[in-house]
Amino acid sequence: MPATKLTKSSSTPRLSESPILGESTEAFCGDIRRHFNFTLGRDKNCKSAHYAYTALALAVRDRLMECWRNTQSAYESADSRKTYYLSLEFLLGRALSNAILNLGVEGPLGTALTELGVDLEELVACEQDAGLGNGGLGRLAACFIDSCATLQLPVMGYGLRYEYGMFRQNVENGFQVEEPDHWLRNGHVWELERPELTLRIRFGGRVEHYSEQDRRRRVRWTDTHDVLAVPYDVPIPGYRNGTVNTLRLWKAAATDEFDLNEFNAGDYAESVRAKNLAENITMVLYPNDASENGKELRLRQQYFLASASLQDVLRNWVLKHGQDFTEFAAKNSFQLNDTHPSIAVAELMRLLIDEHDLSWDQAWAITNQTMAYTNHTLLPEALERWPVRLFEQMLPRLLEIIYEINANFLGEVANRWPGDLDRLARMSLIEEGYQKQVRMAYLAIVGSYSVNGVAELHSNLLMQGLFRDFYELWPERFNNKTNGITPRRWLASCNPGLNALITEAIGDGWVTDLGQLSRLRDFAEDRAFRERWRKVKQENKDRLIDFKRRELGLEVDRFSMFDVQVKRIHEYKRQLLNILHVIHLYDRIKRGDAGSDWTPRCVIFGGKAAPGYAMAKLIIKLINNVATVVNRDPALKDLLRVAFLPNYRVSAMEVICPGTDLSEQISTAGKEASGTGNMKFMMNGALTIGTLDGANIEIRREVGAENFFLFGLTAEEVEATRAYYDPTSIIEGNDDLKRVMNLLETGYFNQYEPGIFEPVVHSVRSAYDPWMTAADFASYVLAQQQAAAAYRDQDDWTRMSILNTAASGQFSTDRTISEYNRDIWRLRPIPARAAL
Ligand SMILES: *Cc1c(COP(=O)(O)O)cnc(C)c1O
């Protein structure tokens, strides 16, 4: 048993006295060899790069361990305020390069690897992406914890350790085919299991109310089916500052007595089934981005994360402070990453009242001063609602608490707006109707002291639209925190060429103070510098070509404009608009309208569709069919190429964004909450073609309208146009679009698959098309022509490229996290320090 004491003698064991590890070439050589030979038990006959990778990763991890314990002991002794970031997703990608960069050991380690005769890049590629997220929301969580560590903030991430992460995407005959991502198969060297910190999570059962001698009413939640939560800790290193924070991921495991009871009853098979049911909770990540799940198992995951994380925090509190919670709210806060973990509001109430004996009012005061909620989407289908009936069965005690929160809350609303029954119904946490539902976003708002959106436009639309009633009640709760990305992964590490050039020009302070990139503005006027910048971009494009050749076998003109749209496939993101434009370019070439001033393009798509999202999958098929027709036509060689890169993921983006010329950010205005892909491209010197949506607005403001290709309706115009939207007459009035639709409608791209694209045609022609694709076609084509013309002047394009990187300083998560900390968390940075 893990809890067994190490020694019975009264003397303190000296096991924990840590040796100091060197960071010299010799020290690394020795440690990598030792791990290869002894930890892993390999020898000269082992040809698999995987073991060399593991040995290297373990040697790097050893160095993180020292900083990790120093950081934790500094937090421990400071006893300061802390924040816990609760997220169902952390899209981490690979860890090795990031750890080497942040530790600052590239020099000696590089020499060591040369001596050992191994290639770093090859080993780096051995690491499986940790794909514990769908897209932007999960990647944001990963960038956030990187910045928290770099800013030395005492922030801990809490998430789930899914056995299967985001599915692997194959393309067969143009169709997406999903394969399970068993990312743990070859082990995960970065995690540390902490079985001694296992907790118990309850499900089902029933609630008993009773009174004790002191006549206080008490609650017992009994006959539950319990599941164990086992923590696995992942180190999150700050940038060269000795700090290593913790990401704690929970794995579900069956309880022992559960098995035993069934076993005694003689039903072995039943006991194994029960075990599987328990362990199912963290088996798989739900692969839906920005859309509702409605599945029982998903609610189980949400409660499992919330309960385990809160119990963990409360256990530590009680160890230090006993049952005295007077200081708890001053010392702790929880940031909820979207509504997914919002059951934490009710769970904290339950734990404080039922397990720690606080009164309702005391518990509510604490909850309401510690919970903070981030909203990530305006799409109504993504606002989670759970059937009351499901709550009754799975979490009966939580439902009671939600009802009481609602009763108190509606009392407050009635008090403020007497007689306004419509408002009460609108704002209630319970949606009445055929099937009563709990509105999880409202639970999060009512339970939190801060509610934020993720870009200026998005936060404004929340206050004026979706959450207007709540904004009228509590305007002071609402605020904006524009998203960002970590410049360590998304510039310093993924773009070594640009890193070196920028550092030569302005020093290396930008890595932790990204605003310093603005000093590149002067260099944009320097012709020699522009030439070097262009060369780096070309090298990055060549790297991307290699990647494409490996993945697709596709040959492309290395000087053509790399026009890229990679992100989840969703109708609101309008990959469809992009492919309609590609068809238009094809049509122009075929009708002889590609003159000598034609700008050759390679249009690259990538992204996964939710497995149940038929229209998104059909759009992938359309892109692939168009690519087949375009790429095999000799008349188009060197004028137009189209590629769909399968299995888009973090490690793919690290090659894609440095090699991109033109970044496609073309969502229907008012639909993309922020976007972060847009920031990665900009930081790496791509120009953006985009709508006034999400953070595009702020990107354009920072870089200047003259360095951004704008098109399309505004969010206001989109809403104003809806009532009389008439795509058929738009198509009739635009010869280019008419010809494109004609090619689609005559089955030009699906000659052996009759009718398959009818749903696509229908969606563009529908007066109820929520994404208004036809409405923006003409202005999109115009903006594309401006981009093509601009690209012909390579020197001026390069100037604009430099200006984009120079203006990207705002979009560092260091800035975002500083704002969270200033306005919401109010943490004091705590430097790590060596143990005494
Ligand atoms: C950045 C990133 C995203 C988010 O991209 P958007 O364009 O903002 O939707 C999604 N997936 C991966 C792998 C990313 O790196």
String of DSSP letters for 259-286: HHHHHHTT-HHHHHHHHHHHHGGGTB--
Question: Rounded distance, CA 579 to CA 565, Å?
Answer: 10
458 carries an active-site annotation: no
pLDDT tens track for 28-48: 999 999 999 999 999 989 888
82 carries an active-site annotation: no
| Residue among 377, 668, 676, 816 flagged as catalytic | 676
Is the CB of residue 165 below 6 angstroms from any atom belonging to ligand 1? no
- What Cα–Cα distance (Å) separates residue 607 from each residue in 135, 573, 653, 658, 764? 9, 11, 10, 17, 21
C-beta separation of 97 from 124 below 8 A: yes
Crossing angle (nearest 10°) for helices 49-78 and 25-34: 110
What domains does the chain contain, in order, with CATH numbers?
Answer: 79-93+129-483+821-825 (3.40.50.2000), 555-811 (3.40.50.2000)
Please give the residue that has the higher pLDDT: either 52 or 551. 52
- What Cα–Cα distance (Å) separates residue 356 from each residue in 317, 350, 396, 742, 743? 11, 9, 19, 69, 68
Question: Rounded distance, CA 630 to CA 272, Å?
Answer: 54
User: Measured in angstroms, how far is the CA atom of residue 567 from the centroid of ligand 1?
Assistant: 5
Average pLDDT of the segment spanning 721-740: 97
Return the sign of the alpha-carbon dihedral for residues 270, 275, 276, 277: positive
Is the CB of residue 498 below 6 angstroms from any atom belonging to ligand 1? no
Buried b (16+ CB within 10 A) or exposed e, 48-57: eeebbbbbbb
Average pLDDT of the segment spanning 599-619: 97
| Tokens encoding 423 | 């408002």
293 confidence band (pLDDT: 50, 70, 90): low
Question: Rounded distance, CA 262 to CA 270, Å?
Answer: 7
- What Cα–Cα distance (Å) separates residue 241 from each residue in 57, 67, 99, 236? 20, 9, 12, 12
Crossing angle (nearest 10°) for helices 758-765 and 735-745: 150
Q: In percent, how much of the chain has pLDDT > 70?
A: 96
pLDDT tens track for 778-793: 999 999 999 999 999 9
Average pLDDT of the segment spanning 398-416: 98
Local structure of 343: helix, strand or coil: coil
**Per-residue pLDDT for 454 more than 80?**
yes
| Tokens encoding 358 | 């606080």
**Per-residue pLDDT for 268 more than 90?**
no
User: Measured in angstroms, how far is the CA atom of residue 134 from the centroid of ligand 1?
Assistant: 9
C-beta separation of 617 from 655 below 8 A: no
C-beta separation of 830 from 80 below 8 A: yes
Note the pLDDT of residue 10: 56
**Per-residue pLDDT for 291 more than 70?**
no
User: Measured in angstroms, how far is the CA atom of residue 485 from the centroid of ligand 1?
Assistant: 10
Is the CB of residue 139 below 6 angstroms from any atom belonging to ligand 1? yes
Note the pLDDT of residue 8: 55
Question: Rounded distance, CA 221 to CA 202, Å?
Answer: 9
Is the CB of residue 70 below 6 angstroms from any atom belonging to ligand 1? no
Is the CB of residue 649 below 6 angstroms from any atom belonging to ligand 1? yes
548 carries an active-site annotation: no
| Residue among 168, 376, 588, 671 flagged as catalytic | 376
Question: Rounded distance, CA 686 to CA 675, Å?
Answer: 15
Q: To test the ligand 1 pocket, which listed residue (379, 645, 650) has its Cβ within 8 A of the most ligand atoms?
A: 650
Phi-psi bin for 553: left (phi > 0), alpha (psi -120 to 50), beta?
left
Angle at 798 between CA 793 and CA 804, to 5 degrees: 130
| Tokens encoding 257 | 């007595």
- What Cα–Cα distance (Å) separates residue 739 from each residue in 147, 351, 537, 543, 779? 49, 63, 36, 36, 16
Q: For the chain, what percentages of helix, strand and coil (3-state, to nearest 5) are there?
A: 50, 15, 30
pLDDT tens track for 138-195: 999 999 999 999 999 999 999 999 999 999 999 999 999 999 999 999 999 999 999 9
User: Measured in angstroms, how far is the CA atom of residue 91 from the centroid of ligand 1?
Assistant: 10
Note the pLDDT of residue 263: 58
> By CB neighbour count within 10 A (0-12 exposed, 13-18 middle, 19+ buried), where does 722 fall?
middle
Note the pLDDT of residue 836: 44
**Per-residue pLDDT for 3 more than 70?**
no
First to last CA, the chain: 30
| 697-701-702-705 Cα dihedral, nearest 10 degrees | 110
Query: What is the distance of C-alpha 814 from the center of its chain?
Result: 16
Atom 10 of ligand 1: nearest residue by CA position: 135
568 carries an active-site annotation: yes
676 carries an active-site annotation: yes
| 24-28-30-32 Cα dihedral, nearest 10 degrees | 180
Is the CB of residue 677 below 6 angstroms from any atom belonging to ligand 1? yes
Among 73, 64, 39, which residue's Cα sits nearest to residue 53? Answer: 39
Read off the DSSP letter of residue 344: H
| Residue among 385, 573, 601, 617 flagged as catalytic | 573
Average pLDDT, the chain: 94
Q: Please give the model's pTM, rounded to 2 decimal places.
A: 0.96
**Per-residue pLDDT for 549 more than 90?**
no
Is the CB of residue 567 below 6 angstroms from any atom belonging to ligand 1? yes
Note the pLDDT of residue 641: 96
376 carries an active-site annotation: yes
Give 213-269 as a DSSP string.
TT--EEEEEES-EEEEEEEEEEEEE-SSSS-EEEEEEEEEEE-HHHHHHHHHTT-HH
User: Measured in angstroms, how far is the CA atom of residue 135 from the centroid of ligand 1?
Assistant: 5
Average pLDDT of the segment spanning 338-359: 97
Note the pLDDT of residue 835: 47
